[in-house]
Amino acid sequence: MRGIGSIEGCAPSIEHFVPQQYLAPDGSFDAARVAALGIPRELLMKLYRGMLLIRIIDERMLTLQRQGRISFYGEARGQEAAVVGTAAALGKSDYVLPALREAGAALYRGLPLRTYISQIYGNENDLTKGRQMPCHPGSRDARYVTMSSCIATQLPHAVGMAMAAKLRHDPVVIAGYMGDGATSEGDFHVALNFAAVYRAPVVLVCQNNQWAISTPVAGQTASPTIAHKALGYGIPALRVDGNDVLACYAAMRDAVAFARAGGGPIFLEALTYRVSAHSTSDDPSRYRDESVTAVWKSERDPLCRFRHFLRVIGALSDGVDSALHEAIEAEIKSAVVAEEAARPPALATLIEDVFATPTEALREQLAEVAAALPAHPHS
């Protein structure tokens, strides 16, 4: 999109929906246009680190899952630009309600790596006490609400939180993320309608990675773009190349400013591709042409594109890049060693957090479990 000014108050025509892009897939860019974005070099490097961190964590976690050391994992490979670019435009006191693939946003917002990995192991250090599937981190400190596995349920929550903020005159913005598949859910429509009517300060971000497990986006909707759905509800929409981190950041920055200034909800569609399997329980070669995936994985890779840009502008040398890789690898390795060695959550946590005082029935059941597990080291 050409900016908020061109969309405010009226639906743009379809030609406005050519995705905004600053870095072409081949790495070329218009230096003046990029400079006009005014992104400081320090932030550029932070974006790069955030993207690289996701890429390396995903590789490590996939290996751990294949070795049987963790039970499940869902990669965000190929979507690092959309995750980090959008997250970076939010303020510290804003909130994130994620969908499936935004854990990198939690890390970017300060979730400690060990805490993230403890959640994947579901051990005693896990903030959610092993009660969630792996890859469902949540953090009060990072203002990152635990992901809900039920597709799109986070969207009415995001809008509700935004309404609460509005009623309290709290200038926070809520970012509600979703995948393309989520836009067919009733919750999506409920959330958008309510947000539009009551002008909730929410930025709705769709990572359109073109697949919802085995359903391609063409089988998901007859809408020409996902962004059109927002227009139908009277919500202005932006569309970006989701593999261009600068485009994602710039659009999200505009969107957040729009929502914070009282403009109401705004929608951002980031066009990307799920180059990985849906999760470690999936085999995409059974339902899609993986030669298409190969193109996205190589020529359209968001990390390579951004790395090329950073090299051309002189912000990243081979030495700095490999030092960064090594530092991230070492950080992940020590987090895995520590969290793999950590104990499971104490047995009593099974009945905590439901009632202020656990009921007699729950206490009896706990005793029964404890008796059946005499060797359990934490009962």
Rounded distance, CA 101 to CA 86, Å?
13
Catalytic residue among 77, 101, 136, 278: 278
Does position 182 interact with ligand TPP (CB under 6 A)? The reply is yes
Rounded distance, CA 379 to CA 366, Å?
9
Does position 116 interact with ligand TPP (CB under 6 A)? The reply is no
Q: Is 48 a catalytic residue?
A: no
How many residues bind ligand TPP, per CB under 6 A? 15
Check residue 268 and report its DSSP letter.
E
Catalytic residue among 16, 228, 287, 307: 287
Tally the residues of the chain.
379
Rounded distance, CA 86 to CA 54, Å?
14
Does position 73 interact with ligand TPP (CB under 6 A)? The reply is no
Q: Is 169 a catalytic residue?
A: no
β-pairing verdict for 211-212 and 215-216: antiparallel
| Torsion sign over Cα 38, 42, 45, 47 | negative
Q: Is 287 a catalytic residue?
A: yes
Place of tokens 């974006």: 47
74, 188, 227 from 215: Cα distances, Å: 17, 18, 19
Does position 274 interact with ligand TPP (CB under 6 A)? The reply is yes
Rounded distance, CA 186 to CA 166, Å?
24
In this chain, which stretch among 110-118, 194-202, 204-212, 250-258 interacts with ligand TPP, using CB under 6 A?
204-212
User: Binder to ligand TPP among 75, 102, 180, 269 (CB under 6 A)?
Assistant: 180
21, 29, 101, 215, 300 from 305: Cα distances, Å: 12, 10, 20, 28, 7
Q: Indicate the residue among 98 and 264 with the shorter CB distance to ligand TPP.
A: 98
The Cβ of residue 367 has, within 10 Å, a number of other Cβ atoms equal to 11
CB of 145 to ligand TPP, least distance (A): 16
239's contact among ligand TPP, Mg ion, none, with CB below 5 to 8 A by partner kind, is: none
281's contact among ligand TPP, Mg ion, none, with CB below 5 to 8 A by partner kind, is: none
Of 280, 100, 353, 109, the closest CA to residue 208 belongs to: 100
Does position 81 interact with ligand TPP (CB under 6 A)? The reply is no
Does position 179 interact with ligand TPP (CB under 6 A)? The reply is yes
Does position 100 interact with ligand TPP (CB under 6 A)? The reply is yes
Check residue 168 and report its DSSP letter.
T
The residue whose Cβ lies closest to ligand TPP is 179
Return the residues of window 185-244 that contact Mg ion according to CB under 5 A.
209, 212
In this chain, which stretch among 87-95, 178-186, 195-203, 327-335 interacts with ligand TPP, using CB under 6 A?
178-186
In this chain, which stretch among 1-9, 146-154, 167-175, 313-321 interacts with ligand TPP, using CB under 6 A?
146-154
- Three-state SS at 206: strand
Q: No. of H helices and E strands in the chain?
A: 14, 7
CB of 152 to ligand TPP, least distance (A): 7
182's contact among Mg ion, ligand TPP, none, with CB below 5 to 8 A by partner kind, is: ligand TPP
137's contact among Mg ion, ligand TPP, none, with CB below 5 to 8 A by partner kind, is: none
Rounded distance, CA 41 to CA 47, Å?
10
Q: Which residues bind ligand TPP (CB under 6 A)?
A: 100-101, 149-151, 179-182, 209, 211-213, 274, 278
Please identify every residue annotated as catalytic: 274, 278, 287
